[in-house]
């Protein structure tokens, strides 16, 4: 809040303004350079430690029910 008596800026308002500007700048930078997330890539070889081949060519380390459920099921 501004001091109504002498109209000098309140230090808390100035600090809040700086934080808002800093956050806005970080958001602009994040939109220019979005993070890169890894995604499964089909592999012709079995990964170390074994696994299950999915229908789309990716490997899963799971072996129970639901293995490869997001990859078209297991390969025949």
> Do 42 and 31 reside in the same domain of the chain?
no
Q: How many CA atoms lie within 13 Å of 71's alpha carbon, on the beta-carbon side? A: 19
Rounded-to-integer distance, Cα 76 and Cα 74, Å? 6
What is the Cα–Cα distance from 76 to 70, expressed in whole angstroms?
16
State which residues form the domain around 42: 38-76
- pLDDT of 6: 63
Domain count for the chain: 2
> Tens digit of pLDDT for each residue in 19-61?
999 999 988 888 887 777 777 666 677 767 778 888 998 888 8
**Are residues 48 and 66 both part of a single domain?**
yes
5 and 21 both lie in a single domain: yes
Q: Are residues 56 and 70 in the same domain?
A: yes
SS3 of 31, please?
helix
Do 52 and 71 sit in the same domain of this protein? Answer: yes
H or E, element range at 27: helix 11-32
15 with 45, same domain? no
């Amino acid at each position: 809040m501004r001091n109504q008596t002498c109209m000098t800026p309140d230090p808390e308002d100035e600090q809040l303004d700086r934080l808002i500007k800093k956050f806005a700048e970080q958001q602009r930078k994040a939109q220019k350079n979005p993070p890169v997330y890894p995604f499964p890539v089909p592999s012709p070889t079995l990964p170390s430690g074994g696994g299950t081949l999915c229908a789309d060519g990716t490997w899963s380390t799971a072996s129970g029910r639901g293995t490869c459920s997001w990859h078209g099921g297991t390969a025949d």
